Amino acid sequence: MKAAVLDSIKAPLRVEDRPIPEPKPTEIIVRQRITGICYRDILEQDGFFPRAKFPVVPGHEITGIVTNVGSEVRGFRIADRVASLIYKPCGTCTYCMSGNENLCPNKVTYGENVDGSYAEYIAIDQKSAVKVPNGVGEYEAAIASCVTGMIVHAIRKIGNIKPGQKILITGAGGGVGSHAVEVSKLLGATVIAETSSPDKSEVLKSLGADHVVQFSERFDRKVRDIIPEGVDLALETTGNYTFEQALRSLKVGGGMIVVGNINPEPAKLPLGILILKGNSVTGSISSTRNDLGEALELAASGKFKAVIDKTYDIEDVNMAYSEIRSRKNTGKVFLKFR
């Protein structure tokens, strides 16, 4: 099988032939046709994840058909269609036991601590796998954990968004932001989409954005022109580029949820605003099996569609990275194996 390998920090990816992996007792072998590229994978190449093992097969947006199962696997068999969490939870810590496995301190992340999804066949643990219901497309299944499930977790579970509330989504043209626009609309919110690319406005409106705001030094003023009292919730998908303005866009008592940090420089936090307006800033990480199930249900309903920018052959993975780095993509960039 073909696999793309990252040998070390800053190295270009290298495509090589590898044997199909054999399952350990609790593992499932999944044959993939496609996988998503995540900004997290780009940050890994930049050296943002010091605990990554090298060389590593990056990638964690996993879906496909089961081709082999380990001796202790229960509930999955050959030919099942599955999607996967981006990590293997330990299954025994207090977080795992209370359904908060996204916070598991012992989790092992695919594409980082073990080989990931930039390969036609991948070994995943049965604790990571969820069956894909009928009616879910393969692109929707591939992003169900890292993108859709992560958004569901952030804005519904942590942000507790209600129909009619107003949400600001920063970096709305990107892989996370574009799908966050869709999910927020499905949950009944009014969506203000912030983007730095004027040419992404129409796409964002077609995805359901009620208002599109162009990035500027003080785009919070444009948000206030639209919603004078400020938004109920801000979903911060980019990090320090937009953090302060997103905070300034909140209404009194409003909250921000941070899910993206594409620039590792710390953000500036105006404490006076936080105190005087009683705002909250919360981080949200990844998704649980429950969130993954909800994301797949959204896709099965037919109301949620993946925003596909382009699908590259695995051999062209470095080209795909360049496109994402230039932030020209609207929606997700994928890799295909044949």
> Binding residues for Zn ion, per CB under 5 A?
38, 89-90, 93, 96, 104, 106, 146
* Angstrom distance (rounded) from CA 337 to CA 82: 17
Q: Which of 23, 89 has the CB closer to Zn ion?
A: 89
Q: What is the pairing mode between strands 81-84 and 231-236?
A: unpaired
Cβ of residue 195: shortest distance to Zn ion, in angstroms?
A: 20
Cβ of residue 108: shortest distance to Zn ion, in angstroms?
A: 10
* Angstrom distance (rounded) from CA 203 to CA 37: 20
Q: Which of 222, 289 has the CB closer to Zn ion?
A: 289
Q: Which of 219, 337 has the CB closer to Zn ion?
A: 337
Handedness of CA 59, 65, 68, 74 (dihedral sign): positive
Cβ of residue 106: shortest distance to Zn ion, in angstroms?
A: 5
Cβ of residue 183: shortest distance to Zn ion, in angstroms?
A: 15
* Angstrom distance (rounded) from CA 84 to CA 317: 22
Cβ of residue 286: shortest distance to Zn ion, in angstroms?
A: 9
* Angstrom distance (rounded) from CA 58 to CA 38: 10
Distances (CA, A) of 72 to 68, 77, 169: 12, 12, 43
Q: Which of 192, 306 has the CB closer to Zn ion?
A: 306
8 A C-beta contact, residue 311 and residue 304: no
Cβ of residue 237: shortest distance to Zn ion, in angstroms?
A: 12
Q: Which of 104, 191 has the CB closer to Zn ion?
A: 104
CB-side neighbour CA atoms (13 Å) of 3: 23
Cβ of residue 184: shortest distance to Zn ion, in angstroms?
A: 19
Cβ of residue 115: shortest distance to Zn ion, in angstroms?
A: 15
* Angstrom distance (rounded) from CA 330 to CA 149: 19
8 A C-beta contact, residue 101 and residue 107: yes
* Angstrom distance (rounded) from CA 146 to CA 209: 22
Residue number, nearest CB to Zn ion: 38
Q: What is the pairing mode between strands 280-283 and 250-258?
A: parallel
239, β-bridge pairs: 263
Rg (Cα) of the chain, in Å, rounded? 20
Q: Which of 1, 90 has the CB closer to Zn ion?
A: 90
Q: Which of 104, 324 has the CB closer to Zn ion?
A: 104
Q: Which of 109, 249 has the CB closer to Zn ion?
A: 109
Q: How many CB atoms lie within 10 A of CB 198?
A: 10
